Structure 1
Amino acid sequence: MEQRVIWDHLESAGAEHLTLKKLTNHMEVRGTVLLVDQGVPHHLTYDLKLGLDWKTKKVKIYQEQETEPFVVQAEKQDKWWVNGRYDENLDGATNVDLTITPFSNTLPINRVTWHIGERRTFKMVFVDVLRKEVFPLLQVYTYLGDNDGYRIFQYRCRDYETALVIDAEGWVVEYPGAFERKALLTTGDRNVGKQPQPLLANAPSSSEGFY
């Protein structure tokens, strides 16, 4: 199965096209991102290999005018290497969080089965893509309930808090103030996936939270 998604970037001019392929033993993702950061345009591509359990195995990030990719890779027992160097601070993390894409939120959400009211904490490998900084980060997701067929998750990280609109397959539909899904297409289906009316258009992305 293959799925293709397009998100708008809301914080600045930009968008992402992502392709996910589900193969026999793993999944492969390629994202192409156009964005503007402090007035500077960027064109980035990342290749992500996932297990069928949605755990990150390897990510390669390519930037224009750079000959070598930036590589973050997981080995057995959730140990991590950054550009070939082992980083013990990342031990125990199960997924990467790339700053340039809302697909990062799909990874922990799809790792587990959720019940309304359930809260889970995940140790993530946070990758500031433009600045090439990598460090561990705890993130908390709470399944708040459903709205018009979509799931609403409270997302907390440090002092940041917001509410995410997530579809049944774990795709981010709306990330208030940051990303908005414009299209979803699954191989063999000619119809673009249903797009909701904005559910959280006025939701704050701050320490005060949505709820």
Structure 2
Amino acid sequence: MPTMPKSLFWSRTDTAGSEHAVFDDREGLLARGVVLAVDPIPYTCRYQLTVGADWCTSSLEVEATGAGWARNVRLERAGDGWRVRTGEEGDLDAALRAAGHPPAGLPGTDEPDRLAAALDVDLSGSPLFNTLPVRRIGLGRTPADHARQVTVAWVLLPGLAVLPTDQVYTSLGPGRVRFASDTFTADLDIDPDGFVVRYPGLAERIDPR
């Protein structure tokens, strides 16, 4: 497994948790990361992401584990659509119900054709994945108030269901991007390479001193 030349670390602000990603962005993006969170139940998520030189996602592998359960999903671009494979051990839904939360349902999707329009993927709770449409669209080079709608394959944690979701990214000038999905909106601070520095209500990056 090759080593990665860069890394980023975020602390969650919506719950106890964090994300650490190591990556190489010299030609597209190859990233491996770990997401930790206690909400809705404690879990650890590990992912590996491959993005081409055009910043369209090629593949994403995600594994989520907690007490008494484990799930995984793999998304791989195949022609004009996506191939989705899943695995499951234990009973996540039982763990969620015991903690007073609704069940997550099955991982993956029964209708991968609904993901056909997605050029990007998004992992819930992870600020790294906002970089994908920002870099692919080139929002860092567009004038303020330039808005673009994208369709993403959204992977929900901890259950790993995969949904097609429309999102809107709007340039607000240097270092600022507005993210909107359905009724949710957040103004993100990003660095010159398009990586999130601050995501209000979700996470803040912790840089080495």
Normalising by the smaller structure, the TM-score range is: 0.7 to 0.9
Aligned length: 178
Instruction: Give the Cα separation in 2 of the matches to 1:2 and 1:55.
Output: 21
Instruction: Give the Cα separation in 2 of the matches to 1:86 and 1:133.
Output: 11
- 1:95-134 residue pairs with structure 2 within 5 A? 95-114=120-139, 115-116=142-143, 117-134=145-162
Aligned match of 1:74: 77
- 1:104: how far off? 1.3
Instruction: Say if 1:100 and 1:88 are closer, same or farther in 2 by CA, change over 3 A.
Output: same
Which residue of the other structure, out of 158, 174, 180, is the alignment partner of 2:204?
180
Instruction: Give the Cα separation in 2 of the matches to 1:107 and 1:31.
Output: 15
Instruction: Say if 1:121 and 1:69 are closer, same or farther in 2 by CA, change over 3 A.
Output: same
Question: For 2:42, what is the secondary structure of its paired residue?
Answer: strand
Aligned match of 2:50: 49
Query: How well do the aligned residues superpose, as a CA RMSD in angstroms?
Result: 2.1
Instruction: Give the Cα separation in 2 of the matches to 1:68 and 1:134.
Output: 13
- Give deviations 1:67-110, integer Å, cap 9, x for gaps: 76311111223x11221776111112101110031111100000
Structure 1: stretches of 5+ with no match in the other structure: 184-191, 194-211
Instruction: Give the Cα separation in 2 of the matches to 1:63 and 1:144.
Output: 34
CA contact (8 A) 1:58 1:72 kept: yes
Aligned match of 2:89: none
Instruction: Give the Cα separation in 2 of the matches to 1:68 and 1:159.
Output: 29
- Give deviations 1:157-189, integer Å, cap 9, x for gaps: 101111110111010000001010002xxxxxx
Question: For 1:37, what is the secondary structure of its paired residue?
Answer: coil
Higher strand share: 1
Question: For 2:29, what is the secondary structure of its paired residue?
Answer: strand
Aligned match of 1:61: 62
Q: Which has the larger displacement, 89-98 or 61-70? A: 61-70
Instruction: Give the Cα separation in 1 of the matches to 2:177 and 2:147.
Output: 9
Q: Which has the larger displacement, 58-67 or 43-52? A: 58-67
- 1:134: how far off? 1.1
Structure 2: stretches of 5+ with no match in the other structure: 87-109
Question: For 1:109, what is the secondary structure of its paired residue?
Answer: helix
Aligned match of 2:189: 165
Aligned match of 1:2: 5
Instruction: Give the Cα separation in 1 of the matches to 2:51 and 2:69.
Output: 25
Aligned match of 1:186: none
Aligned match of 1:203: none
Identity over aligned pairs, percent: 30
CA contact (8 A) 1:80 1:86 kept: no
Instruction: Give the Cα separation in 2 of the matches to 1:162 and 1:173.
Output: 13
Amino acid in the other structure paired with 1:74? R
Question: For 2:134, what is the secondary structure of its paired residue?
Answer: helix
Instruction: Give the Cα separation in 1 of the matches to 2:119 and 2:32.
Output: 19
- 1:23: how far off? 6.2
